[in-house]
Chains A and B, each alone.
Chain A
Amino acid sequence: MKPPPFAYARAESLEHALTLLDEAGEDAKVLAGGQSLVPLLAYRLARPTHLIDIGRLPGLDTMRSDDTGLVVGGLVRHHELERSAVLTGPWQVLREAAGLIGHHPIRIRGTFAGSLAHADPAAELPVAATALDASFTVRSTGGDRVIPAAEFFVGPFMTVLEPAEIVVDGRFPAPPAGLRSAFAEFSPRAGDFAFVAVAVAVALDDGGRVRHARIVLGCVGALPLRAGEAEDELMGSALTEQAIDAAARAAAAGCDPVDGPHASATFRRELVAVLVGRTLRRLREDHP
């Protein structure tokens, strides 16, 4: 299980990285933390001709939040998200999601942009980012594009990212007032890839009725799945038991997971209902 041969270059700046990417052609890969890419190399499931190492580029490893929203640099490591004091309230879902990625040493190395660009259908951050209506800034020598999460992921391990583009950051718009969010998943062991992941974000109006709802499911399809009918069940409700149950049922009914050797479709559907119900109840109980 040794990586296949490739050419390697360590970028000294983002501009340098983009130039190297242009040079290297379409079978090149960007290497950040390597926690998804290096296992694929070991299995020889990925055979890039070139790796461009951006792992320690300055300037991409910071987070900032203000009244326009939150910006997470592409090289912010999962363990920084996991322990960030900034990621509470509306952003809580990011912190919880990051804390469930693999194990501690994986979270030390793995990067925010790496997880997004890898687009594993079982990954946590794409689900969490979708629930917060995030967009991703991607850059090439030709300039920047800002791509909404809903358009960024197009299939298992597939995004709209062009070969010469790098994910620079994630942009999370200013949340609706009072937005709260949460994440949950079911995995057979601590640190395993999840069978089902759920991100929810809910804001209530002054009367305690839901005026904004996002329910996003992971691991039940090729990409993060907005559970629109479940969100509709919540809208206007007072997060009552009945509304939560209805949303959980709608989320389960609205997804179409595949049968796998480790988890059947029926089981995954049940888990969707369970986890949607649990996260919504947790939001209600944390902030009565």
Chain B
Amino acid sequence: MTWIGEDDSAAVDVVVNGRPTAMRVPARRTLADALRDDGLTGTHLGCEHGVCGACTVLLDGRPVRSCLTLAVQAEGADVETVEGMAEGPELHVLQRAFHENGALQCGFCTPGFLMLALGLLRAEPEAPPERVREVLTSNLCRCTGGGPIVQAVLAAQRELAGDVA
């Protein structure tokens, strides 16, 4: 591979929510902007400096800030966004738990929290409550303060554990 000039676009091949996708993006475009340009506007930009977490997506299964990741860095990677969470009309356990636990009001931070929690529960399905709370401090929710989000994730974790057993 050689240089992509500052005015050039790069071809980036990624798998987004299971679908192989060829993006053409300038080198400086963030993964968040590239996804949003691709119509996946569920990934929100709340700060663009890596603090709020509204842009959290899964990159190769792990939660990352898509505002702090350049699209070109995602070449060959598997990207999951909130749009891929529900299976058709069937909401994911986490999505239902958020709804049932008052874990969202304005909804702007919700996709980022859902992806953060999804990454956590996949990697650490038995994470103790303190660990769940610690990881959830990664993102900010101005409406609820975050407590109901912790409760929702713990509820989803219990339900997922029950399904396995």
Contacts and interface: CB of A to CB of B under 8 A. Distances in A.
Nearest to A9: B3
A7 B1 contact: no
A10 B75 contact: yes
Interface residues of B, number: 39
A38 B68 contact: yes
Interface string B1-16: 1111111001000000
B87 interface: no
Contacts of B120: 104
Given A6-B6, A7-B27, A43-B49, A38 B134 contact: no
Contacts of A4: 28
A131 interface: no
Interface in B1-52: 1-7, 10, 26-28, 30, 33, 47-50
Greatest chain B CB density within 10 A among A43, A53, A55, A105 is at A105
Nearest to A35: B68
B68 A3 contact: no
A108 to B, nearest CB: 5
A191 B137 contact: yes
Contacts of B65: 35, 105-106, 109
Interface residues of A, number: 34
Given A8-B10, A39-B49, A31 B137 contact: no
B111 interface: no
Contact of A8 (B27, B47, B50, B135): B27
A5 interface: yes
Contacts of A177: none
Interface in A167-223: 189-191
B4 A9 contact: yes
Contact of B50 (A12, A38, A104): A38
Interface in A92-114: 102-106, 108-109
B69 A38 contact: yes
B18 to A, nearest CB: 21
Contact of B4 (A8, A31, A34, A108): A8
A105 B27 contact: no
Interface of B: 1-7, 10, 26-28, 30, 33, 47-50, 53, 56, 59, 62-65, 67-70, 72-73, 75, 116, 119-120, 134-135, 137-139
Interface of A: 1-10, 12, 20, 31, 34-35, 38-39, 41-43, 50-51, 53, 55, 102-106, 108-109, 189-191
26 contacts: A1-B48, A1-B49, A2-B30, A3-B70, A7-B3, A7-B27, A8-B27, A8-B70, A9-B2, A20-B3, A31-B70, A34-B68, A35-B68, A38-B68, A39-B68, A42-B48, A51-B27, A103-B135, A104-B116, A104-B135, A105-B53, A105-B62, A105-B138, A106-B138, A108-B64, A191-B138
